């Protein structure tokens, strides 16, 4: 990797062996992007656009003849001086005028990646990255923006962020601070994103980017199941294995806006950052504001190439480093066995059977603190119901530990019920607008995490349960979107800051707890995948992908999330059949195989399982334990299926000596050609034995010729192939 400058110091080329990113300070003042894509050795000015005189435009002092600012590839654009496309930055000055004109000031190379105060971000050891700091200023407004570009040594990714400083004498209102803006040359692009709903997360949407503005967003207070804070622009002919893909993701857990504009001339501008509709930040003289980090990801090897970049970055440079290689325990979650009706007797019954079957972690879900068996009471008090669990959580933990298993506990620290002691004592701790009734969600209000005393309370509650070391795992849930977004503790001039201050408060709590208890495994959850995002992954080493545990639906959900997240970050449970969410009946083997390549657990009532089912579960757990060591560090691929009746995945060991491949047959269709599937990521020089058939194949043969897809006379059937290098 390197950061090189032209002789006059106005062109900078950021590169490694995979990518190049080139910027120029035209006339020493206009910062523009010249190239982002596959690595080039040196940049000599290739690809600079030609301009001709146009009507209905503006004129500017610039050495480039006939330049139009309305299609100039500005690196960090604002409106007001001739660029009418989507802006990345907007400021209201003390006069009430919304105007800013940033001019280039200089480049500076940093040996280490700077930390982002109060925000999660990718991290790296010295020597693994280089960072370029670019300074731009508007001297009249008294504002300085520092743009950061961090390139990693081994992959096609660049981390982007902005820091805004008030260097003047007037108070400023930040209205829009996007985490990056990227200009791409005029051509056809497909735009890809993930949409969904509760229990239906991770659906892939792909369409041709047309003229105008394409956008996705969340204004729900969290990143949301409706839209993932991710999108990709790609060659329309790109596949899982081939073609150019530009992937973008925001390391943030709150309201976001992602958009791409195809302008009047066919050029494309892409952006992602905090949603400006729910953001306004007062910046007084001497103060600074840090925008969240975004990841720019370039692949010339299709969507799987993009995914490999994200997987590597998030596993080794984002999630808690103590869990990068740590094997995840096989868990049994109590929710679908008990729901709210928790008792010590039920715990003992389930735990004893879980131990016999080989489970390593018992998770006590919601219900343990409720005054009754519903979601209407007690949220926020976090006092164990001694009638349900005599001796409290300490007794429950001791019981589970006596079985030789770890103990996990469910919390929803951000919520409070109206029927709770906490709300009766501190009604001002909830988000609310005076004079208006607070809207409930799951019979809950939202605690105002922008208030320091609220954060201190949440931390004290968690400390009380965690400091004794009796809890090995915490499931952190959050079950409703935001309404009445107002803090009683903020003055009127700062009301626009509450959504972002809430997320900063959440990160402060998570940072405090994970640093105090670094060995505790934290799993993020928000009604399933409503806050499955890189911001949470920085603190929670794994996330619950969806409340929908139906194996058929999980093939789509897990495949969608695998575009960005490595399998080690995804919880996948084997649940009861017929499934509680969909009513669909799927075999126990299929449920297991769909979860097998991820963080596998169980979520069912073991007392209702037959002896045959228990024997099969014991066999599954034993098999999974033998493989998880390499599976959780493996390269995961979505293999191209011949038609929509199949979902095909494979995991390849780091040394390429072993591979597990899964074919999910959705429906029994004997009259259709089933075709072949080709593997990916194998060593073409190796020969492999398929453990089931004992047949030998060359790695190149498996990747180029492929394997014929078999046929099973049932719906929702899984074929599993296990390839091991032939010695």
Contact 283, 164 (CB under 8 A): yes
Q: Which residues pair with 662 in a beta bridge?
A: 649, 720
**Would you give the distance in Å from CA 172 to the centre of its chain?**
32
10-residue averages of pLDDT along the chain (727 residues) = 94 98 98 98 91 90 93 96 97 96 98 94 95 98 98 95 97 98 97 98 98 98 98 98 98 98 97 98 98 98 98 98 95 96 97 98 98 96 97 98 98 98 98 98 98 98 97 98 98 97 98 98 97 98 97 98 98 96 97 97 97 98 97 96 96 98 96 92 98 97 96 97 96
Sign of CA pseudo-dihedral 382, 386, 389, 392: positive
Catalytic residue among 448, 477, 533, 553: 477
d(CA 118, CA 217): 23
Catalytic residue among 71, 263, 547, 553: 547
- pTM score > 0.85 for this model? yes
How, if at all, do strands 361-364 and 268-274 pair?
A: unpaired
Tell me the DSSP string of 510-532: HHHHHHHSTTSEEEE-BTTBTT-
- At 53 the pLDDT is 87
How, if at all, do strands 676-677 and 707-708 pair?
A: antiparallel
Pair of tokens at residue 366: 């919601």
Token pair 């803006």 is at which residue?
A: 181
Going by the DSSP 8-state scheme, the letter that residue 209 receives in this structure is P
511 is catalytic: no
Q: pLDDT tens across 154-206, in order?
A: 899 999 999 999 999 999 999 999 999 999 999 999 999 999 999 999 999 99
According to the 3-state scheme, what is the secondary structure of 386-451?
CCCCCCHHHHHHHHHHHCCCEEEEEECCCEECCECHHHHHCHHHECCCCCCCCCCECCEEEECCCC
Taking residue 177's Cβ as centre, other Cβ atoms within 10 Å add up to 26
Sign of CA pseudo-dihedral 316, 274, 564, 134: negative
**Would you give the distance in Å from CA 285 to the centre of its chain?**
34
How, if at all, do strands 599-603 and 570-575 pair?
A: parallel
547 is catalytic: yes
Distances (CA, A) of 594 to 389, 572, 674: 34, 8, 20
- At 50 the pLDDT is 86
Q: Please, what's the largest Cα pairwise distance for the chain?
A: 82
Distances (CA, A) of 185 to 19, 190, 296, 306: 16, 14, 16, 20
- At 242 the pLDDT is 97
- At 111 the pLDDT is 86
d(CA 721, CA 432): 55
Residue 228 CB contacts under 8 Å (≥ 6 apart), including other chains:
193, 194, 195, 196, 202, 532, 533, 564
């Amino acid at each position: 990797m390197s950061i090189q400058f032209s002789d006059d110091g106005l062109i900078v080329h950021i590169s490694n062996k995979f990518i190049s990113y080139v910027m120029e300070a035209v006339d020493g003042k206009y910062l523009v992007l010249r190239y982002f894509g596959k690595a080039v050795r040196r940049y000599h000015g290739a690809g600079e656009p030609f301009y001709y005189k146009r009507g209905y435009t503006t004129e500017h002092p610039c050495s480039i003849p006939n330049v139009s600012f309305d299609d100039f590839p500005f690196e960090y654009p604002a409106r007001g001086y001739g660029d009418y496309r989507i802006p990345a930055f907007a400021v209201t000055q003390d006069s009430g005028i919304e105007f800013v004109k940033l001019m280039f000031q200089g480049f500076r190379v940093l040996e280490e990646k700077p930390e982002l105060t109060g925000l999660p971000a990718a991290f790296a050891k010295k020597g693994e990255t280089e960072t370029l700091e670019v300074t731009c200023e508007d001297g009249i407004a008294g504002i300085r923006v520092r743009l950061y570009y961090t390139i990693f040594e081994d992959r096609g990714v660049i981390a982007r962020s902005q820091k805004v400083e008030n260097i003047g004498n007037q108070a400023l209102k930040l209205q829009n601070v996007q985490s990056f803006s990227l200009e791409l040359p005029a051509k056809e692009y497909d735009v890809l994103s993930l949409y969904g709903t509760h229990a239906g997360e991770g659906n892939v949407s792909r369409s041709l980017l047309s003229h105008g503005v394409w956008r996705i967003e969340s204004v729900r207070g969290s990143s949301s199941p409706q839209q993932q804070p991710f999108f990709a622009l790609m060659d329309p002919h790109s596949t899982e294995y081939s073609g150019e893909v530009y992937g973008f993701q925001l390391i943030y857990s709150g309201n976001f806006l992602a958009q791409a504009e195809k302008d009047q001339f066919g050029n494309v501008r892409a952006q992602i950052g905090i949603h400006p509709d729910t953001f306004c930040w007062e910046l007084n003289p001497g103060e600074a504001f840090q925008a969240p980090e975004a990841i720019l990801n370039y692949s010339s090897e299709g969507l799987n190439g993009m995914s490999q970049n994200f997987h590597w970055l998030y596993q080794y440079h984002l999630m808690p480093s103590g869990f990068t290689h740590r094997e995840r325990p096989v868990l049994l979650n109590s929710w679908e066995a008990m729901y709210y009706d928790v008792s010590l007797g039920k715990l003992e019954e389930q735990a004893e059977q879980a131990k016999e079957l080989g489970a390593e972690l018992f998770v006590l879900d919601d219900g343990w603190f409720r005054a009754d068996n519903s979601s209407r009471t007690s949220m926020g008090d976090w006092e164990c119901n001694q009638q349900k669990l005599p001796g409290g959580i300490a007794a429950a933990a001791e019981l589970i530990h006596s079985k030789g298993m770890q103990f996990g506990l469910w919390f929803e620290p951000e919520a409070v019920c109206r029927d709770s002691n906490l709300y009766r004592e501190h009604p001002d701790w909830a988000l609310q607008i005076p004079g208006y009734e607070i809207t409930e969600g799951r019979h809950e209000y939202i605690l105002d995490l922008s208030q320091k005393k609220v954060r201190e309370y949440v931390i004290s509650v968690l400390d009380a349960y965690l400091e004794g070391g009796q809890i090995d795992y915490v499931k952190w849930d959050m079950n409703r979107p935001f309404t009445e977004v107002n803090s009683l503790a903020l003055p009127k001039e700062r009301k626009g800051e509450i959504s972002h201050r809430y997320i900063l408060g959440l990160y402060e709590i998570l940072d405090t707890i994970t640093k105090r208890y670094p060995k505790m495994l934290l799993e993020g959850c928000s009604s399933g995948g409503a806050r499955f995002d890189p911001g949470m992954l920085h603190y929670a080493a794994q996330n619950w992908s969806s409340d929908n545990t139906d194996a058929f639906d999980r093939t789509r959900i897990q495949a969608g999330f695998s575009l960005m997240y490595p399998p080690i970050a995804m919880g996948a449970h084997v649940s009861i059949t017929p499934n509680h969410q969909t009513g669909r009946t799927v075999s126990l083997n299929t449920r297991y195989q769909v979860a097998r390549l991820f963080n596998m657990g169980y979520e069912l009532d073991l007392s209702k399982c037959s002896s045959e089912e228990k024997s099969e579960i014991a066999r599954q757990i034993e098999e999974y334990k033998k493989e998880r060591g390499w599976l959780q560090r493996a390269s995961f691929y979505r293999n191209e299926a011949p038609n929509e009746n199949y979902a095909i995945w494979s995991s390849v060991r780091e040394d390429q000596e072993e591979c597990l491949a899964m074919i999910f047959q959705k429906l029994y269709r004997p009259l259709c050609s089933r075709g072949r599937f080709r593997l990916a990521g194998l060593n073409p020089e190796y020969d492999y034995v398929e453990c089931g058939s004992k047949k030998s194949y060359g790695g190149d043969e498996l990747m180029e010729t492929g394997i014929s897809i078999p046929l099973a006379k049932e719906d929702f059937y899984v074929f599993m192939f296990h390839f091991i290098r032939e010695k």
